[in-house]
């Protein structure tokens, strides 16, 4: 396993170079709009639909960025990732396209669709218990045994640069709409997407400000930003927003967010589900709960948001059909 102890977050040059590498391999996602959602949000609301990416989440950006950045002889030995599912699929897709072996370490309670899809993408899946096992230790051991390179889900400069390419796109799209000052709501687990977007916007759209969005009870980033020290979640299980539950913000990502992001936003699980139903009705996109917390914040925390326009990154759409049906029953 390659050890890289003194990494730093990427700069705008790295993010723009990554965007060139990703072109033709990830989708330039559209900004969606509905007058019905504007009415609820109390301002113009524009949703960048990362759920439309191949494999259903923004994670294809970081996965492709990291795997494509490896030296050919390193990549040929293979890669490993630990992930609740979306990062897994992003890495597996990139590895398969580049002919690299791929092992994915996933929590045993991840949605079935994510486990199945990761296997279908050609990866070997190793399951662990989210409450009792240490996924970093499991992943590290397998990586050492087989000479695999660990692709971390967020605390990796290449991954942050990859996710940051969404911010480059947003900067261009916002300029076209003449939206020069607005909050950008980003679903936040370890903070790779939020940090990457914040770094891209710092250079390309400095009037746009990232706001992290998390589920209640798993708001480690909001508490870290408020307290000025890195906070941990009390538990790792129990939120329907499984895709964005991480133990704590990243060592690379948190300093970026402390410097560039506004206060963190927190929504309830039911608000995330309600936002999923509204996205079904008015945007015609499928979101998973963890991918809908930013939309939920735009719709249900409007007093904590500034400006007459707000952007949301809707980050993923891999949701079990049974949960989706239940959500439509309750909220649509």
**Residues of this chain that bind a second copy (CB under 8 A):** 27-30, 32-36, 49, 51-52, 54, 56, 93, 113, 117, 120-121, 277, 280-287, 317-318, 321, 324-325, 328-329, 332
What are the backbone angles phi and psi of residue 131, rounded to the nearest 5°? -85, -35
For a second copy, give the closer residue by CB, 80 or 292: 292
CB 198, CB 261: distance < 8 Å: yes
CB-count burial class (<10 Å; 0-12, 13-18, 19+) for 122:
middle
Residues whose CB falls within 8 Å of the CB of residue 127, separated by 6 or more in sequence, listed in order:
105, 106, 107, 108, 115
Shortest Å distance, C-beta 52 to a second copy: 6
Residue pair 240/110 in contact by the 8 Å Cβ criterion = no
Q: Of 244, 207, 248, which is closest to residue 57 (Cα–Cα)?
A: 244
Q: Which is nearer to a second copy, 29 or 221 (CB)?
A: 29
Q: How far apart are CB 10 and a second copy at their closest, in Å?
A: 26
Q: Closest separation between CB of residue 320 and a second copy, Å? A: 9
For a second copy, give the closer residue by CB, 30 or 238: 30
For the CB of residue 245, give the shortest distance to a second copy in the complex, in Å: 21
Q: Least Å distance between CB 315 and a second copy?
A: 11
33: closest CA among 314, 231, 317? 314
Q: Which CB, 29 or 149, lies closer to a second copy?
A: 29
Smaller CB distance to a second copy: residue 146 or 325? 325
Q: What is the DSSP letter of 101?
A: -
């Amino acid at each position: 396993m390659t050890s890289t102890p003194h990494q730093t977050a990427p700069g705008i040059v790295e993010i723009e170079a990554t965007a060139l590498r990703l072109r033709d391999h990830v989708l330039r996602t559209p900004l969606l709009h509905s007058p019905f959602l504007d009415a609820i949000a109390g301002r113009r609301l524009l949703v960048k639909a990362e759920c439309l990416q191949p494999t259903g989440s923004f994670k294809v950006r970081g996965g492709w960025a990291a795997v494509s950045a490896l030296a050919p002889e390193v990549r040929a030995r293979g890669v490993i990732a630990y992930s609740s599912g979306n990062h897994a699929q992003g890495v597996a897709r990139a590895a398969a396209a580049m002919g690299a072996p791929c092992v994915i370490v996933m929590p045993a309670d991840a949605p079935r669709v994510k486990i199945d899809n990761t296997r279908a993408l050609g990866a070997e899946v190793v399951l662990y218990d989210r409450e009792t096992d240490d996924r970093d230790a499991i992943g590290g051991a397998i990586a050492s045994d087989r000479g695999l390179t660990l692709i971390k889900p967020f605390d990796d400069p290449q991954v942050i640069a990859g996710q940051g390419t969404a911010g480059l796109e947003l900067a261009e799209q916002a300029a076209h709409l003449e939206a020069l000052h607005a909050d950008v709501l980003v679903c936040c687990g370890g903070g790779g997407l939020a940090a990457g977007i914040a770094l891209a916007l710092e250079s390309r759209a400095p009037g746009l400000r990232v706001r992290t969005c998390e589920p209640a009870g798993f708001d480690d980033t909001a508490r870290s930003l408020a307290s000025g020290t890195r906070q941990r979640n009390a538990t790792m299980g129990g939120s329907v927003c499984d895709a964005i539950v991480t133990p704590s913000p990243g060592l690379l990502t948190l300093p970026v967010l402390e410097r560039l992001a506004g206060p963190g936003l927190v929504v309830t699980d039911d608000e995330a589900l309600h936002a999923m139903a509204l996205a079904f009705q008015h945007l015609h996109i499928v979101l998973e709960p963890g991918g809908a917390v930013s939309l939920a914040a735009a719709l249900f925390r409007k007093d904590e948001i500034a400006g007459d326009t707000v952007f949301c990154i809707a980050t993923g759409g891999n949701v079990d059909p049974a949960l989706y049906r239940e959500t439509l029953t309750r909220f649509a």
